[in-house]
């Protein structure tokens, strides 16, 4: 899961410090790939070279997510920009408490999302992010051991047992077996065929509150793309820091050394704005 616990403030990008282990070192985030953190830092360096240090790491992360979706075949959408970077990361306890586990059912997921003003439509649309990428056995072994989850298709289960021969195997498998590297609506086709990987995926089809939305997305890719983009924009505005709040980090992995002046300025109106794609695209990376 890629949502930052404190909102979209780039806190998950921070390395740990003397004050404790970082958000990315907390168990739910251990599977975030080191290459992704490097990509964000590299993108930031390229942008800094062109523009100076005016684009936050939080904005770079939001744009990188958008571009990854588009480049793998998904929708393009405009990302509101102007986020500032947070000064601290969430503790291990806060991270564990805020990110729902893949063993969660729809009730748990809806409850977690409702605290963020996200609803069942958002939940189903955003879960479509699992149309690309991989998961470790530990994230779905609850569905295999001690016995097969009865909502799981038998031949799909057979393959998963060979990938994860024991409940503690450390192997990985793809999240969307039909087209693991393409951003499309096959994730929902998987769910309809009871071939979703995590409990949090398959329960979207089992639960009457979300089943019809899954079916609609399985039959209408364009609708899924529209709803996914809208929910990403919505999620991307959770607890953003703007104006003079936070900072623009020099290095996305570390908060700036200088002391940041807080106080009255925190109430100042932010520079939240919708920047045209053309402007972003004109940053020709070298
Ligand atoms: C609804 C709650 C969610 C849960 C419980 C959840 C859980 C997980 C888990 C457990 C993994 C695999 C970790 C591993 O075993 O390696 C994963 C991977 C992934 N998730 Fe989610 N996720 C959620 C929402 C999202 C959202 C909203 C997105 C994006 C819009 C997303 C995108 C991804 C992607 C792309 C991967 C693959 C990462 C990789 O290949 O390294 N997930 N998620």
pLDDT tens-digit series, residues 86-109:
999 998 999 988 899 999 999 999
Minimum-distance ligand 1 atom for the alpha carbon of 36: 41
- Return the percentage of the chain with pLDDT > 70, whole number: 88
pLDDT band (50, 70, 90) for residue 12: very high
Task: Give the closest residue (by CA) to ligand 1 atom 13.
Answer: 135
pLDDT at 4: 57
- What separation in Å is there between the alpha carbon of 259 and the centre of ligand 1? 35
Measuring CA to CA, which residue among 106, 103, 109 is closest to residue 135? 103
Minimum-distance ligand 1 atom for the alpha carbon of 228: 30
DSSP string, 156-212: HHHHHHHH-SSTT---EEES-SS-TTS-SSHHHHHHHTT--SSHHHHHHHHSHHHHH
Residues with CB under 6 A from ligand 1: 1-2, 31, 33, 100, 102, 104, 109, 126-127, 129-130, 132-136, 139, 198, 200
pLDDT at 6: 84
pTM of the model: 0.90
pLDDT at 66 exceeding the cut of 90: yes
- What separation in Å is there between the alpha carbon of 217 and the centre of ligand 1? 18
pLDDT digits (tens, 9 = 90+) for 28-60: 899 999 999 999 999 999 999 999 999 999 999
pLDDT digits (tens, 9 = 90+) for 108-159: 999 999 999 999 999 999 999 999 999 999 999 999 999 999 999 999 999 9
pLDDT at 238: 95
| Residue range 10-39: mean pLDDT, rounded | 90
| Residue range 257-276: mean pLDDT, rounded | 42
- The contacts found for 169-174 with CB under 8 angstroms, 24 or more apart, are 169/137, 169/141, 170/136, 170/137, 170/138, 171/136, 171/137, 172/134, 172/135, 172/136, 172/137, 173/134, 173/135, 173/137, 173/197, 174/133, 174/134
- What separation in Å is there between the alpha carbon of 29 and the centre of ligand 1? 10
């Amino acid at each position: 899961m890629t949502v930052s616990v404190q909102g979209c403030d780039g806190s998950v990008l921070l390395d740990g410090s003397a004050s404790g282990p970082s958000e990315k070192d907390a168990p739910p985030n251990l599977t975030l790939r080191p290459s992704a953190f490097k990509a964000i830092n590299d993108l930031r360096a390229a942008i800094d070279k062109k523009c100076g240090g005016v684009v936050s790491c939080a904005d770079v992360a939001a744009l990188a997510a958008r571009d990854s979706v588009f480049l793998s075949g998904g929708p393009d959408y405009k990302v509101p920009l102007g986020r500032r970077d947070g000064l601290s990361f969430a503790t291990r306890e806060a991270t564990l408490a805020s990110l729902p586990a893949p063993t969660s059912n729809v009730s748990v997921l809806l409850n977690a999302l409702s605290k963020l003003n996200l609803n069942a439509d958002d939940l189903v649309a955003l879960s479509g992010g699992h149309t690309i990428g991989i998961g470790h056995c530990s994230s779905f072994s609850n569905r295999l051991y001690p016995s097969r989850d009865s909502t799981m298709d038998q031949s799909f289960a057979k393959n998963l047992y060979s990938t994860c021969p024991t409940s503690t195997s450390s192997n990985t498998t793809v999240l969307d077996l039909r087209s693991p590297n393409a951003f499309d609506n096959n994730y929902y086709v998987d769910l309809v065929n009871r071939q979703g990987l995590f409990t949090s995926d398959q329960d979207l089809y089992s639960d009457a509150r979300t089943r019809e939305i899954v079916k609609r997305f399985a039959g209408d890719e364009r609708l899924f793309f529209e709803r996914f983009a809208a929910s990403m924009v919505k999620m991307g505005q959770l607890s953003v820091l703007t104006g003079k709040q936070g900072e623009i980090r020099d290095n996305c992995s570390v908060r700036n050394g200088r002391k940041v002046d807080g106080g009255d300025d925190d109430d100042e109106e932010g520079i939240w704005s919708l920047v045209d794609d053309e402007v972003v695209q004109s940053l020709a990376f070298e």
